[in-house]
Amino acid sequence: MTGPAAWALGVAPEIDPAKVTPGFGCFLVFFLLALAAYFLYRSFTARMRRVDVRARLAAEAADQESKRDAAEPGPPEPNGGEK
């Protein structure tokens, strides 16, 4: 008797653990997972760089705008600035 029924009944032949290996299929799956992780990492780092650059440009633009606003005189206050 062979197959799942033999395993269920406990009459299956003993398997030598030294002869059992994951095989090429497992290697292929592991390699594809590693390849996918590599490309995901590259995509993530590229997107993070874009976010950093955009944030830096926005901060520089806001800084330049605040400096420009501080340098420009505002509208004259009524009554010559006195209360």
Identify which has the larger pLDDT, 75 or 45: 45
Residue 67 lies in a domain: yes
Residue 57 lies in a domain: yes
Angle at 15 between CA 14 and CA 19, to 5 degrees: 155
pTM of the model: 0.53
Residue 80 lies in a domain: no
Torsion of CA 75, 77, 79, 83, to 10 degrees: 180
Residue where the block lists tokens 């955009």: 54
Contact 1, 11 (CB under 8 A): yes
Residue 49 lies in a domain: yes
Identify which has the larger pLDDT, 76 or 83: 76
| 65 membership: H or E segment, kind and range | helix 23-71
Number of domains in the chain: 1
Residue where the block lists tokens 């033999």: 6
How far out from the chain centre does Cα 51 lie? 13
Q: Which domain holds residue 65?
A: 36-71
Residue 66 lies in a domain: yes
